[in-house]
Amino acid sequence: MRIDRQVLSTNNSLKLDPRSDLIAAATQFYKQGWMVGTAGNLSARLPDGSFWITASGKSKGELQISDFIRVGNDGKILERSHSDLKPSAETEIHQVIYQLFLEAEACYHVHSIEANLVSRFVEGDNLPLPPLEMLKGLGIKAENPSCFIPIFANHLDVGKIATEICDRFYIYPPQIPALLLRDHGVTVWANSTETARNYIELVEYIFRYMVVACQVNIQY
């Protein structure tokens, strides 16, 4: 799988070294229970098209600046603090997101109980979302919107997931900058680290609402 696109940075406000933003977000998500243990991964893209991503096997509640690896748009490791550090197992997903969406400057993936539960609400590959006000924060500004989040199978082979994301999004661009891996977690992308953090919070709020609505038998 390869996408031959020139990667351009469109957000001059992105810090040249965004790792402090990634650490702050990871700490916040860890406290929410969305990045327990070493789960989840965060990345931010640099003006040259490379991106910093969390190293594999690191506790997201205790990240240090040295716990990141800089990866080129071609997937090659460009910089790391120790030779034994490995990039997140899901680096290929971040890579394909940056190649598909030129405006994307940050990509966040977290694991929550609610995301796993709602991923089983449907058998198909699109999950309908309730028409909540929170959708406005994700770019949906219609009255009583009909909005879906795409669902992908959580293959052991991450490259297969990345290929399926690429193939589907080329034909069917997502309505919101987010996707859901079944029984795994949600991934969002945005034009800044701050916006990506907001997107995670908004999506997780919607998922939490959906779980509670199901428990009390509210139709939406």
Name the helix (H) or strand (E) containing 194.
helix 193-215
Closest CA relative to residue 158, chosen from 56, 58, 78:
56
The residue whose two tokens read 């550090």 is 85
* 111 known member of a binding site: yes
> In DSSP terms, which residues pair with 55 in a beta bridge?
87
> In DSSP terms, which residues pair with 87 in a beta bridge?
55
Closest CA relative to residue 210, chosen from 137, 124, 140, 147:
147
Can you tell me the distance from the alpha carbon of 26 to that of 30, in angstroms, rounded to the nearest whole number? 6
Can you tell me the distance from the alpha carbon of 53 to that of 73, in angstroms, rounded to the nearest whole number? 12
Can you tell me the distance from the alpha carbon of 62 to that of 34, in angstroms, rounded to the nearest whole number? 14
Can you tell me the distance from the alpha carbon of 198 to that of 188, in angstroms, rounded to the nearest whole number? 10
Residues of the binding site:
109, 111
Q: Which residues are annotated as a binding site for Zn(2+)?
A: 109, 111
